[in-house]
Amino acid sequence: MTLPFRREIRRRDFALSLMGSLLAACSATPPPIAQPKLPPLKTDDLSSLVTAAGLEWMVLVKPRTIAQIAWLIPEIALFAPERNFDIFKREVGVDLREIPEAIVARFGVALGDSDLQLTRHMNDAEACERLFRKRITKEPERDEERPDLVRVSGKIGGTPHAFARIGGDVLAYQEGGDAAKGPVRIATLYAEDKLKKTPRALETEPLKSLAARFGDAPFIALAVGPFTDDWRKAANGLLEASTGVGCALRPTVREHIGFALAIAGDFHDSADAASATLMDAWDAFTATEMGGVLGLDKPVERALPTHTSEIVALSVEVEPRRFAEGLHALVMEDLDALMKL
HEC assignment per residue over 265-284 = ECCCCCHHHHHHHHHHHHHH
What pLDDT score does 113 carry?
Answer: 96
Q: Higher confidence at residue 339 or residue 127? A: 127
Residue 31 has pLDDT above 70, yes or no: no
Fold of 48-73+81-198: Protein Transport Mog1p; Chain A (3.40.1000)
d(CA 287, CA 296): 8
**Once rounded to an integer, what is the mean pLDDT over residues 231-256?**
87
What pLDDT score does 28 carry?
Answer: 53
Q: How far is CA 92 from CA 64, 89, 119, in A?
A: 17, 5, 12
On average, the pLDDT of the chain sits at 87
Confidence of residue 324 (pLDDT cuts 50, 70, 90): confident
Q: Higher confidence at residue 198 or residue 37? A: 198
Q: How far is CA 269 from CA 72, 138, 256, in A?
A: 42, 57, 35
232 and 239 in contact (C-beta within 8 Å)? yes
Residue whose C-alpha is closest to residue 270's, from 227, 210, 235, 311? 311
Confidence of residue 2 (pLDDT cuts 50, 70, 90): very low
Whether pTM > 0.75 for this model: the answer is yes
What pLDDT score does 37 carry?
Answer: 82
Share of the chain above pLDDT 70, in %: 85
Residue 330 has pLDDT above 80, yes or no: no
Q: Could you give the 3-state DSSP secondary structure of residue 190?
A: helix
What pLDDT score does 15 carry?
Answer: 52
Residue 334 has pLDDT above 70, yes or no: no
Name the E strands within 91-218. Answer: 101-107, 115-120, 138-146, 149-156, 159-166, 170-175
Q: How far does CA 314 lie from the centroid of its chain?
A: 26
Q: How far is CA 1 from CA 4, 5, 7, 337, in A?
A: 7, 8, 11, 118
Highest mean pLDDT among 94-98, 202-206, 336-340: 202-206
- Segment 269-286, tens digit of pLDDT: 889 999 999 999 999 999
Residue 140 has pLDDT above 60, yes or no: yes
d(CA 294, CA 341): 8
Instruction: List CB contacts of 203: < 8 A, sequence separation 6 or more.
Output: 52
Q: Higher confidence at residue 74 or residue 313? A: 313
- Segment 90-120, tens digit of pLDDT: 888 888 888 999 999 999 999 999 999 999 9
d(CA 312, CA 285): 17
Pairing status of strand 115-120 against strand 257-265: unpaired
What Rg value do the Cα atoms of the chain yield, rounded? 30
- Segment 251-263, tens digit of pLDDT: 999 999 999 999 9
Domain ranges of the chain: 48-73+81-198, 205-341
Backbone angles phi, psi at 207, to 5 degrees: -65, -35
Pairing status of strand 55-61 against strand 311-318: unpaired
Q: Higher confidence at residue 83 or residue 52? A: 52
